[in-house]
């Protein structure tokens, strides 16, 4: 449905011209919303995040986060509350994390492939009091919620027994909560191992990730969320939103799912595991897309790196 994303919505920058990460705002959500809003002013509501059958532009992202944050507060969410997030798509992840943060609460994203017992354990470990889920993860998330302290569930799409995320948007944006302390207040709560990451830490990680990857305006990054850690998954979403990079989520677990997304969206970069790198390197089909950079989650096999370069003309680099 979204074939040709790069050609239709973004422009690839010439080699070596990606700009360093520059952000405004003292919290991670302020910084990402400010960057997304500025991009929307410059280029209109071009696509920022893509999932199968779904896309989200910069302007729509910023407007939806503001409205959803107000809706969460109207539904009783208070500053310091912890909201578990169990979704599979990059669109839902971005909206959930930043809506919870903008509401003054603390997002606690869970691995997208977590099963009910793990979901329950992680929600209890994080102290979550409410949950945001999606159609692809709802069955597991709701089963886990029954064994947790969660009493309120919001869901993207049509999920019986939950409050639709769309209902949070009905009243529009309202007054923001008191601003958090960027050096002390948590911007993200991780469950394994237990850790709270402040706004200052998340901003520093974003600068580090941006400097290491060198992605910039016009790039298209393909990302299977299940192949990276939760902090990296969230960090890559924020990096793409703030740097004009189109992020394409890949829910399928197979190497061919990544390869098809690269071809369909004419990607300039993709995240792969060493196993997927090997499968892609020796894929007999013609690559079709030139100059793709594969970002590997762990040390790759040397022969797979060589094969990618000689067979496809693609380069390989580590994912920090």
The dihedral over CA atoms of 78, 84, 86, 92, expressed in degrees to the nearest 10, equals: 30
Q: Note whether 198 and 225 are same-domain residues.
A: no
The dihedral over CA atoms of 62, 63, 69, 75, expressed in degrees to the nearest 10, equals: -150
Q: Note whether 256 and 182 are same-domain residues.
A: no
Q: Note whether 178 and 272 are same-domain residues.
A: no
Cα-Cα-Cα-Cα dihedral sign, residues 22, 25, 29, 34: negative
Q: Note whether 189 and 209 are same-domain residues.
A: no
Q: Note whether 49 and 105 are same-domain residues.
A: yes
Assign residue 214 the CATH number of its domain. 3.40.50.980
The chain-wide mean pLDDT, for the chain, equals 87
Q: Which domain holds residue 165?
A: 20-202
pLDDT at 274 over 70: yes
Where is the domain boundary, 156, 179, 202?
A: 202
* 5 occurs within a structural domain: no
pLDDT at 237 over 80: yes
* Confidence band of 49 (pLDDT split at 50, 70, 90): very high
Q: How far apart are CA 256 and CA 276, in angstroms?
A: 9
Where is the domain boundary, 202, 234, 250?
A: 202
**Mean pLDDT computed over 201-211:** 90
Q: Note whether 134 and 212 are same-domain residues.
A: no
* 8 occurs within a structural domain: no
Other beta carbons within 10 angstroms of residue 25's beta carbon come to: 16
* Confidence band of 7 (pLDDT split at 50, 70, 90): very low
Q: Note whether 307 and 244 are same-domain residues.
A: yes
Region of poorest pLDDT, from 66-75, 110-119, 192-201: 192-201
* 143 occurs within a structural domain: yes
* 4 occurs within a structural domain: no
Q: How far apart are CA 144 and CA 133, in angstroms?
A: 11
The string of pLDDT tens digits covering residues 150-160 is 989 999 999 99
3-state secondary structure of 224: coil
Spatial CB neighbours of 42, under 8 Å, sequence gap ≥ 6: none
Q: Note whether 100 and 151 are same-domain residues.
A: yes
Spatial CB neighbours of 23, under 8 Å, sequence gap ≥ 6: 31, 32, 34, 35, 203, 206, 207, 242
The string of pLDDT tens digits covering residues 156-187 is 999 999 999 999 998 766 666 666 666 777 88
Q: Note whether 188 and 228 are same-domain residues.
A: no
The dihedral over CA atoms of 98, 103, 104, 108, expressed in degrees to the nearest 10, equals: -50
Whether the Cβ atoms of residue 9 and residue 46 lie closer than 8 Å to each other: yes
Q: Note whether 91 and 177 are same-domain residues.
A: yes
Where is the domain boundary, 175, 202, 229?
A: 202
* 35 occurs within a structural domain: yes
Assign residue 138 the CATH number of its domain. 3.40.50.12780
**Alpha carbon 264 to its chain's center:** 20
pLDDT at 96 over 80: yes
Q: Note whether 192 and 254 are same-domain residues.
A: no
Q: Note whether 110 and 164 are same-domain residues.
A: yes
* 70 occurs within a structural domain: yes
Domain count, the chain: 2
* 6 occurs within a structural domain: no
Helices in the chain by DSSP H: which ranges? 5-9, 28-43, 58-74, 90-102, 116-126, 138-145, 199-213, 230-243, 255-265, 274-281, 302-307
**Mean pLDDT computed over 217-225:** 94
Secondary structure of 261-277 in the HEC alphabet? HHHHHCCCEEEECHHHH
The string of pLDDT tens digits covering residues 251-260 is 989 999 999 9
User: Tokens at residue 132, please?
Assistant: 């945001």
* 257 occurs within a structural domain: yes
């Amino acid at each position: 449905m979204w074939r040709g994303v790069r050609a239709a919505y973004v422009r690839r920058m010439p080699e070596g011209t990606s700009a360093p990460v520059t952000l405004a705002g003292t919290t991670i959500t302020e910084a990402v919303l400010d960057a997304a809003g500025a991009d929307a002013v410059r280029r209109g509501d071009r696509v920022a995040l893509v999932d199968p059958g779904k896309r989200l532009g910069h302007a729509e992202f910023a407007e939806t986060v503001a409205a959803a944050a107000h809706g969460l507060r109207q539904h009783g969410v208070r500053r310091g509350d912890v909201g578990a997030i169990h979704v599979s798509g990059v669109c839902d992840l971005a909206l959930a994390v930043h809506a919870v943060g903008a509401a003054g609460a603390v997002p606690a994203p869970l691995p997208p492939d977590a099963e009910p017992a793990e979901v329950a354990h992680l929600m209890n470990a994080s102290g979550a009091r409410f949950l945001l889920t999606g159609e692809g993860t709802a069955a597991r998330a709701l089963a886990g919620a029954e064994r947790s302290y969660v009493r309120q569930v919001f869901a993207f799409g049509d999920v019986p027994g939950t409050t639709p995320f769309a209902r949070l948007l009905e009243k529009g944006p309202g007054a923001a909560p008191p601003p958090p302390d960027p050096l002390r207040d948590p911007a993200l709560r991780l469950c394994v191992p237990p850790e709270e990451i402040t706004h200052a830490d998340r901003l520093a990680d974003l600068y580090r990730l941006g400097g290491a990857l060198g992605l910039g305006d016009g790039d298209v990054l393909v990302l299977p969320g299940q192949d990276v850690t939760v902090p990296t998954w969230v960090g890559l979403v924020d990096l793409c939103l703030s740097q004009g990079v189109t992020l394409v989520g890949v829910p399928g677990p197979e190497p061919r799912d990544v390869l098809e997304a690269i071809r369909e969206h004419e990607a300039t970069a993709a995240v792969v595991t060493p196993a997927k790198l090997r499968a892609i390197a020796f894929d007999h089909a013609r690559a079709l897309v030139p100059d793709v950079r594969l970002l590997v989650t762990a040390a790759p096999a040397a022969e797979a790196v060589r094969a990618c370069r000689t067979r496809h003309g693609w380069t390989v680099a580590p994912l920090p």
